[in-house]
């Protein structure tokens, strides 16, 4: 149908824009993206509102990931357990 707006899931929106779920939920709470709640209670984001996003969270995220590659977690160790 012509004029019908396309919606996507929260996870798909995260993948498309390159941000975390928390960021998308923050955008929803701040009224930065439009959404609809389905009869089952799921949230669907209107795709056209994602691209109007003035927030540069996706740019910050991509800048943070540059140069890390596979080495981003190399050498990371878990915190030692506390001895009783």
Q: Phi and psi at residue 35, in whole multiples of 5°?
A: -150, 170
Question: In sequence order, which residues have a C-beta less than 8 Å from that of residue 19 and are 6 or more positions away?
Answer: 57, 58, 61
Domain boundaries, the chain: 7-58
Contact 47, 7 (CB under 8 A): yes
3-state secondary structure of 79: coil
Alpha carbon 63 to its chain centroid, in Å, reads: 15
The model carries a pTM of 0.59
pLDDT tens for residues 18-70? 999 999 999 999 999 999 999 999 999 999 998 875 555 545 455 544 444 44
User: For residue 1, what pLDDT band results from cuts at 50, 70 and 90?
Assistant: low
pLDDT at 77: 45
């Amino acid at each position: 149908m012509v004029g019908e707006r396309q919606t996507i899931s929260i996870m798909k929106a995260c993948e498309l824009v390159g941000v975390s779920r928390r960021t998308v939920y923050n955008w929803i709470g701040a009224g930065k993206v439009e959404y609809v709640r389905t009869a089952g209670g799921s949230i669907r984001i209107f795709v056209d509102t994602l691209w109007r996003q003035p927030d540069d969270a996706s740019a910050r995220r991509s800048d943070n990931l540059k140069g890390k590659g596979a080495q981003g977690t190399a050498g990371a160790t878990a915190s030692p357990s506390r001895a009783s």
